[in-house]
Structure 1
Amino acid sequence: MSNESSCGCGGCGCGSNSNEGITITARPTEDTMSQNVITLKIDGMTCGHCVASVTEELNEVPGVSNVEVVLSAGGTSTATVTTNAPVENSVLEEAVAEAGYTLVSTSA
């Protein structure tokens, strides 16, 4: 039996939740003149793999041009989503759920 702790995400096997503050950013590809910024509060994220999963799922949402996720391991993490078209909150919630996490709140 191993004494190694696990971050709990099940995806990376990093054995740690010490990645607090990790950020993964996908750079915008569209004109920033007509963009909206939405802030998402997300529970359940514990490591860099979690950040990558949420970033990937949110980037697949039509209209999303940029995603930046700041991890708060063991707390509520923040995702800043920039869109170049209107995006329903329910679509963002589905993307976060698809990654395996819980959307706590949304603000524009």
Structure 2
Amino acid sequence: MWKCIAYDSFDSKYETLKYTRPKECIDYPLANEVHCQKVYKVKITQDLRKYTAPARGSKTWKMIFKCRTAVERVNAYLKKFFQPNNVRYHTGKRAKVHFDMVTLVYNASIAN
């Protein structure tokens, strides 16, 4: 079923992802069957992890994912070298000061 459809658009009014059958799939053996419709819509609330807006594979999703992976690389670096999980104090103010100092040192180190 999913091999003969491609992402088309997102309808924000109904919160649905719209998939359509590409022209190349006209010769698909099961193209006229019920499960291979011309237009297939899926509500994103059906499964929020599986169906995202914007849809996976779209240009917008790829752009957002690039930004997210860049941030995750920084988080991984901070966890590896500054070890925020090994902070000995657990009060909010001191832990925040520690985190602020870590980010200040990190930003100063990449500025040079």
Say yes or no: TM over 0.5. Answer: no
TM-score in terms of structure 2 length: 0.25
Greater RCO (Cα-Cα under 8 Å, separation 6 or more): 1
User: Which of the two has greater helix per residue?
Assistant: 2
Task: State which structure, 1 or 2, has the greater radius of gyration over its C-alpha atoms.
Answer: 2
User: Which of the two has greater strand per residue?
Assistant: 1
